[in-house]
Structure 1
Amino acid sequence: MPCVIIGGTGKGKVVKGRVTVGKSHLVSSMLSMIACNELAVDPQAPGRDLLKSEMKAFAYMPNGRFRKMEAKTGHHDDAVMATALAALVARKAA
């Protein structure tokens, strides 16, 4: 099922045949899983260093009156978002 990451804290719902989930909720859930030792990346996993690098560059960035979660300028967050999506699916399946 397709997934759309939206701004905000939405916990995820099915709308018109696709899942929508708030980016803040998605990343916060992944960070919670890491803190609770529910999610770990094997030291030998391909892409581990890339994920670690992207997580270090991921932050709350000013956006007018609000802050948004994203990679700092010049960095990417693809691996972070992919891992967060996978963690969400794993948590729902457990």
Structure 2
Amino acid sequence: MTPEPTETELMLKGYGLTTAQMFYHMPDHPHVLNTFIWQDYDLAPDHARLFKFIEYWGQEIDGPLHSVRFSHRKLIAPGEWRNVVGEFTIH
């Protein structure tokens, strides 16, 4: 069995943190909307983990989804590189 990759390993592979806000109808009160926040590391632009969770929601959870808002942010990005031409020596 392969161990789950760590968060750092996922970020180094290009994954970013995806946060989704699900608006759903309460099963007992269909005119009332409630919210649920979901967060996981996912790859843009496909967002396979997010869509897998939305599919799971539709099959297993009684409250039907009204809408989903999400954002995605890479936490590790290429750094800024500068060529240093001179060097100062301090005694």
Same fold (TM over 0.5): no
> Taking CA–CA contacts closer than 8 Å with sequence separation of 6 or more, which of the two structures ends up with the larger relative contact order?
2
TM-score, length basis structure 2: 0.25
More helix by share: 1
Higher-Rg member (1/2):
2
More strand by share: 2
